[in-house]
Structure 1
Amino acid sequence: MKNNHSNHLLLLTFATLLISTSGTLGKFIDLPTAAIIWWRATLGALFIFGFCRYKKLNLKIRSNRDLPSIILGGVLLGTHWVTYFYALKLSNVALGMLSMFTFPVITALLEPFFTKSKFNPIHILLALIVLLGIYILAPELNFKNTYLKGILFGLFSALCYALRNLILKRHVNTYDGSVLMMQQAIIVSILLLPAMFYLDTSNIKTQFPYIIILGLVTTAIGHSLFISSLKHFSVSTASIIGSSQPIFGIIIAFIFLNETPSFKTFIGGSLIIATVIIESVRSRK
């Protein structure tokens, strides 16, 4: 049992690392935000479809009663992606990721309304520590520039992401995580398709390698692993452990975008990592 838990925890952490590449890619790719998300969703869906066919997974929606929540989850995922990438474009990788990573706080507060679980004081405490870490990490704001807009987009993205994870929680024991992710990516692709007729994507050839990484590594593999982890962890636990994403994202941005973290980044990051370790040990018990 302990080995199984360690394996599940390792896969969740690996999923977190892969998903955290979205910050640098979202900032770096030189395309309109809606176009980036459409390519991300479309390529992600194709990659996952190939994997599901290889694994001979059942791709059908098994009950009409599941359809509304799966569609709603896809709408929320698309909204989360678009607003998150706007947050990255308007600010920087650190601020965009950190403002979006208020979602563990939102998840911990909303989960009792979606499941039979009760408010857990430990989750609230850990979520508040994460929030404090994010507050310390955030740079000084100048309300005359776009940083405030970036934070607001990030906070709204966090709300959409938390709601989407809570809605999908009810389906993880019925559907494979890869199947759920494929279904949601298809929904996002369909919703954004009309925008592709009006956006300037003339430089897509130069951006395509990065789009492929975003669709395959970040979306197809990362998000499928994260959804699968909900079979073994509560949404709050997975969200709090996933709070290490900004740390990974800041490191990746430093390496590839030369965005240098400040001393406050290390202090706030230490608080976030501390909550990840505490929740990992607590969930093991």
Structure 2
Amino acid sequence: MAAQKNHLQQVAQLNFAVICISTSGVWGRYITLEPEQIIFFRAFLALVFVYLLCRFNHLSLKLEKGKDTYTVLWCGLCFGIHWVSYFYALSLSSVAIGMLAIYTYPVITSFLEPVLLKTSFVKAHLVLGVLVITGIYFLVPDIDFSNSQFVAICLGVISAFFYAVRNIMIKPKVQYYNGSVLMMYQLLVISILMAPLLYFTNFSKLYTALPGIVFLALITTTLGHTLLLRSLKYFSATTASIMSSVQPVYGIVMGMLFLGEFPAWHTLIGGALILTAVGVENIRTFKGTAGRQ
């Protein structure tokens, strides 16, 4: 009984993290800065917030030398590429296109995780991944290969690939390090890599964009992504990715409310398929936990 209650708490925490992360689509479209500016200031401010959080909770910031350090640094690089390609996808399209394109990552994860972590394939994950992709097809049925939306989708898939690799690589480390500490070092890597690009950018719009960037750094990144990292301690990277596939639906709803981007009827069908995959995975993992009691 206690294990089931704990599982429900972990599911609730993961879904709350997804809601926080879902705000990235709206802010990515609303903030009028260049993507590299958004990413740098988001990463740098989040780095400060996460560092203060680690200090407040008296967490050790030490990483073991060697493999752990290199893994976390590589994860920071992959996470940075994920952000850059994602925000460029948003700048070239709508919230729906940008967010849904990266949600090929549950399928990518389901294929990569067994290979990289030497685990067995789970047939249910492949089926649910296909269901998610089918949902995305209905959400974005008309692809014109000569316009910016196609480029946005390509960037979204690239973003999805690096996001999947990062989640898989970081998962084994979550068992030994606090998620906030791991997030802090990844944000440090992104901040260092993005800083030189600021030399070529215009800062005239920074003041008006600052509130949105602070929200991205504090809620979307510090709270959302840190909670998502912690969830990897209790769920596989594939399970977490499929359960978080409801994120595009949240993002589209936010786009409707705050940006006036209303989806077509086929978007409702796609969203229903994605929600079905999420619901099935929640039920499947819950029954798995109950069956071990």
Aligned structure 1 segments of 4 or more residues deviating by more than 4 angstroms: none
CA distance in structure 1 between the aligned counterparts of 2:120 and 2:137, rounded to whole angstroms: 27
Name the structure 2 match of 1:74: 76
Q: RMSD between aligned alpha carbons?
A: 0.8
Give 1:34's match in structure 2, choosing from 9, 33, 36.
Answer: 36
Name the SS of the counterpart of 2:196 in structure 1.
helix
Structure 2 equivalent of residue 203 of structure 1:
205
SS in 2 for 1:103: helix
Looking at structure 1, the residues matched to 50 and 208 of structure 2 have their Cα atoms a distance apart, in angstroms, of 24
> In the aligned structure 1, how far is the partner of 2:207 from the partner of 2:248?
29
Separation in 2 of the partners of 1:253 and 1:59?
A: 38
Q: Tell me the equivalent position of 2:56.
A: 54
Which residue is equivalent to 1:261?
Answer: 263
The CA distance in 2 between the partners of 1:119 and 1:64, in whole Å, is 29
1:222-270 deviations in whole A, cap 9, x for unaligned? 0000000000000000000010000000001111100001111110000
Deviations 1:37-74 (A, max 9, x none): 00110011111111110000011212322111111100
Within the candidate set 216, 237, 240, 1:238 is matched to 240
Paired residue total: 285
Partner of 2:283: 281
More displaced 10-residue stretch of structure 1: 226-235 or 194-203: 194-203
If the length of structure 2 is used for normalisation, what is the TM-score? 0.96
SS in 2 for 1:102: helix
Cα distance in 1 between the residues matched to 2:84 and 2:67? 27
Q: Distance in 2 between matches of 1:61 and 1:90?
A: 38
How far apart, in 2, do the equivalents of 1:5 and 1:29 lie?
Answer: 37
Cα deviations by residue, 1:111-170 (Å, 9 ceiling, x for unpaired):
111223201110000000000000110152223321110000000000000000000011
Q: Which residues of 2 match residues 151-230 of structure 1 at below 5 A?
A: 151-230=153-232
For structure 2, the residue ranges without an aligned partner over 5 or more in a row are: 289-293
Deviates more, 1:140-149 or 1:3-12: 140-149
Q: Given residue 247 of structure 2, which amino acid in structure 1 is its aligned partner? A: Q
- Partner Cα distance (1:4, 1:144) in 2: 49
Q: Distance in 1 between matches of 2:274 and 2:162?
A: 21
Distance 1:140 1:134 in 2: 11
| Mapping for residues 15-30 of structure 1, pairs under 5 Å | 15-30=17-32
Alignment of 1:70-149 (within 5 A): 70-149=72-151
Return the alpha-carbon distance in structure 2 between the equivalents of residues 145 and 110 of structure 1: 30
Identity %: 43
In structure 1, stretches of 5+ residues that fail to align are none
CA distance in 2, matches of 1:6, 1:120: 22
Q: Secondary structure at the match of 2:28?
A: helix
